[in-house]
């Protein structure tokens, strides 16, 4: 397993890093006022330091896989075909992204649906924001490029508290709600590593949920609900586990608080909420400048407050107590218990 894992991850790193370097090279340079420079200016971690942090992540996952703690989805021919297509679409969309970034335009999404204002944006300056299936099919490629092929690995560290909880509870069936499912990448891993897991995938974007349905069609016991995380249409105490991946940094603080409250409402007592999202300031001080640079380089309006917010304190106000925290390169997984 170690050799195949090494080959697979090395290939991903080279492939996506090449795309990142090319996209960065041909993008319009980011203008920085050197008379009043931003906090990250001159303090960015070196490539060597980033590579070292990445290797720590991959080595830890290798150990988890070798110990049979969890399995990862196998790469199939259709995955390679989709990756090749993703590369073509990625480069095709780059000039549009660059144009939006340099002009500061981030709200050219078009929809007749009644959606929250905070959601009607070109997050990352990507075409259509989160409101088209074309955007959904390109999303995973863009995220993997951003993280040099480590995005899926970082997400999978949410498996650690999830698997431990399921084993400890030993329930005949486990009900899991995922908030902000997106294209369903992490749900594949959840289903692959658990038995008798009933999953409800929820997302504000109907288009992203459609892509998730297609991706997850081989799995049973999955429902799909198009809804807001801050207004969940589910009964009180109806889930054992709630998960959310890369959602909290893309909503305003007030909405994060409401989502915590809703999660607490639908979780049974003793149930857990697993949050996987970006690192926050001082989780790993070496990477602080990179966190500050991220919203400077792309459209992430709620990120600056997110990286400074005391999530444990906000969660506790809704009866959710933090009991687990683990960094995973540029992400981290937190687990809260309903008290």
The answer, yes or no, to whether residue 290 has pLDDT greater than 90, is yes
pTM for this one? 0.96
SS3 call for 247: coil
- Per the DSSP assignment, residues forming a β-bridge with 228 are 231
3-class DSSP state of 326: strand
Judged against a pLDDT cut of 60, whether residue 1 lies above it is answered with: no
Asked whether residue 38 carries a pLDDT value surpassing 60, the answer given is yes
Provide, rounded to the nearest whole percent, the portion of the chain with pLDDT above 70. Answer: 100
Decide the pairing of beta strands 267-278 and 331-338. Answer: antiparallel
* pLDDT at position 291 over 60: yes
Q: For residue range 118-167, what is the model confidence (pLDDT) as tens digits? A: 999 999 999 999 999 999 999 999 999 999 999 999 999 999 999 999 99
pLDDT at 75 over 90: no
> What residue ranges in the chain does DSSP mark as E strands?
174-179, 197-203, 222-226, 239-245, 267-278, 320-328, 331-338
Q: Report which of 64, 240, 246, 273 is spatially closest to residue 160, judged by C-alpha positions.
A: 64
Residue 328 has pLDDT above 60, yes or no: yes
CB 221 within 8 A of CB 198: yes
Mean pLDDT of the chain: 95
Q: Which residues contact 163 (CB under 8 A, 6 or more apart)?
A: 69, 70, 193, 194
Mean pLDDT, rounded, for 251-269: 98
Mean pLDDT of 30-44: 91
Domain 152-338 matching CATH 3.40.50.2300: the answer reads: no
What are the domain boundaries of the chain? 2-149, 152-338
pLDDT digits (tens, 9 = 90+) for 299-323: 999 999 999 999 999 999 999 999 9
- Express as a percent the part of the chain with pLDDT over 90: 89
């Amino acid at each position: 397993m170690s050799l195949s894992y090494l080959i697979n991850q090395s290939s991903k790193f080279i492939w996506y890093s090449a795309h990142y370097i090319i996209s960065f090279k041909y993008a319009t340079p980011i203008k920085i006022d050197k008379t009043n420079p931003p906090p990250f200016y001159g303090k960015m971690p070196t490539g060597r330091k980033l590579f070292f942090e990445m290797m720590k992540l991959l080595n830890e996952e290798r150990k988890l896989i070798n110990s049979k703690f969890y399995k990862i989805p196998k790469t199939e021919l259709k995955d390679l075909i989709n990756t090749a297509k993703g590369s073509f679409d990625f480069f095709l969309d780059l000039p549009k992204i660059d144009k939006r970034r340099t002009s500061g335009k981030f709200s050219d999404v078009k929809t007749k649906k009644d959606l929250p204002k905070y959601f009607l944006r070109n997050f990352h300056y990507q075409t259509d924001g989160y409101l088209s299936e074309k955007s959904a099919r390109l999303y995973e490629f863009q995220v993997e490029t951003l993280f040099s092929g480590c995005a899926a690995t970082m997400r999978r560290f949410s498996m650690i508290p999830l698997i431990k909880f399921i084993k400890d509870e030993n329930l005949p069936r486990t009900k899991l709600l995922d908030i902000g499912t997106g294209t369903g990448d992490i749900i594949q891993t959840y289903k692959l590593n658990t038995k008798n897991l009933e999953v409800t995938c929820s997302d504000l974007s109907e288009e992203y949920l459609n892509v998730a349905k297609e991706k997850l069609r081989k799995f049973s016991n999955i429902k799909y609900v198009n809804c807001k995380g801050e207004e969940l249409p589910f009964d009180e105490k109806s889930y054992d586990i709630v998960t959310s991946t890369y959602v909290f940094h893309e909503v305003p603080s007030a909405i994060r608080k409401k989502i915590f409250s809703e999660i607490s409402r639908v979780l049974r007592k003793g149930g857990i909420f697993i949050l996987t999202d970006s690192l926050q300031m001082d989780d790993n001080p070496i990477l602080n400048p990179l966190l500050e640079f991220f919203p400077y380089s792309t459209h992430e309006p709620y990120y600056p407050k997110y990286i400074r917010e005391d999530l444990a304190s906000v969660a506790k106000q809704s009866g959710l107590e933090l009991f687990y925290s683990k960094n995973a390169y540029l992400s981290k997984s937190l687990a809260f218990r309903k008290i």
